């Protein structure tokens, strides 16, 4: 993202002063969408219908800015989780305190932190840096999956060979029955037997092909699941001093 590009910002805050400060920092070409996080979580502490609308709107912008407050850390963490399930838009915390506040915001799950006064070219540089990191992770995951699939290729080939052998056996059985019929005999009974044999062969062929596809898909899902588990296990918990974020359960806590 070039410094001259227009940016669509999503600001999540209930503080009118923060909203005013961000609007002043925006350029004429930029677009600011202000969302109120009130009611983001329902009584059962899950995303409310209003929260779902916030996530949907936020996910379609270039960057999400959240006014940081320590007591809002669980809400911010939940919002980050649901936004990441929909898109790769960066989520950044707006901090007004010192370094400890920035550390707490990062531990809560945001991608980066910003302070006032807000400088849009710096924001764009941070967006570009996060985008590069996401693309690098995606490439790494793709390479890891490719290596896993290559190692499991003999398994998939064996599945295919077994199914094809079964299909060939079914075909030979049906063809053997058909060959016993006198091709020159055009009786109704023989024609019916031929038609029935063709139908059976067609049904069996389709069944074997479906089984083959199902088994290969199951093998692929197992491989990808194992590979992604290995990747996720490498970054299970992020720690910042006495603060920790569990990226598997999405729990933020202080030791």
Task: Enter the tokens of residue 107.
Answer: 């531990």
HEC per residue, 13-80? CCCHHHHHHHHHHCCCCCEEEEECCCCCECCCCCECHHHHHHHHHHCCCCEEEEECCHHHHHHHHHHH
CA 214, CA 220: separation in Å to the nearest integer? 10
Please state, rounded to an integer, the average pLDDT across all residues of the chain. 77
Helix%, strand%, coil% for the chain, nearest 5:
60, 15, 25
CA 185, CA 42: separation in Å to the nearest integer? 77
pLDDT, tens only, 230-251: 445 444 555 656 666 665 555 5
- Binning pLDDT at 50, 70 and 90, where does residue 101 land? very high
CA 48, CA 240: separation in Å to the nearest integer? 30
Q: What's the mean pLDDT in 20-47?
A: 89
Please count the other Cβ atoms lying within 10 Å of the Cβ belonging to residue 43: 6
| Among candidate residues 69, 54, 50, 48, the one with its CA nearest the CA of residue 12 | 54
- Binning pLDDT at 50, 70 and 90, where does residue 173 land? low
pTM over 0.85: no
- Asked which of 6-15, 48-57, 187-196, 234-243 is least confident by mean pLDDT, the reply is 234-243
pLDDT score, position 235: 46
pLDDT, tens only, 48-96: 888 888 999 999 999 999 999 988 888 888 888 889 888 889 999 999 8
119-to-73, 95, 99, 249 alpha-carbon distances in Å: 24, 14, 18, 34
Half-sphere exposure of 211 (CA within 13 A, CB side): 15
Judge whether residue 209 has pLDDT over 70: no
- Binning pLDDT at 50, 70 and 90, where does residue 106 land? very high
């Amino acid at each position: 993202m070039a410094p001259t590009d227009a940016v669509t910002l999503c600001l999540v805050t209930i503080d009118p002063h923060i909203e005013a400060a961000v609007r002043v920092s925006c350029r004429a070409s930029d677009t600011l969408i202000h969302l109120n996080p009130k009611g983001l979580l329902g009584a059962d502490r899950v995303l409310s219908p209003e929260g779902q609308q916030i996530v949907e709107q936020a996910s379609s912008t270039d960057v999400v800015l959240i006014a940081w407050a320590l007591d809002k850390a669980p809400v911010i963490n939940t919002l980050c989780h649901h936004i990441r399930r929909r898109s790769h838009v960066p989520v950044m915390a707006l901090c007004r305190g010192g370094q400890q506040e920035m550390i707490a915001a990062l531990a809560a799950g945001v991608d980066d932190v910003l302070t006032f006064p807000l400088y849009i070219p710096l924001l764009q540089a941070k967006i570009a840096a996060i985008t590069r990191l996401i693309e690098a992770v995606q490439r790494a995951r793709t390479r890891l999956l490719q290596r896993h699939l290559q190692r499991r290729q003999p398994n998939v080939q064996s599945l295919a060979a077994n199914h094809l052998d079964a299909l060939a056996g079914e075909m030979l059985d049906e063809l053997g029955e058909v060959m016993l019929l006198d091709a020159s005999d055009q009786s109704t009974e023989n024609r019916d037997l031929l038609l029935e044999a063709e139908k059976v062969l067609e049904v069996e062929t389709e069944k074997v092909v479906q089984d083959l596809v199902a088994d290969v898909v199951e093998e692929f899902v197992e491989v990808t699941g194992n590979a992604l588990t290995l990747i996720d296990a490498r970054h299970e918990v992020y720690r910042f001093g006495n603060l920790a974020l569990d990226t598997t359960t999405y729990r933020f806590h202080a030791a």
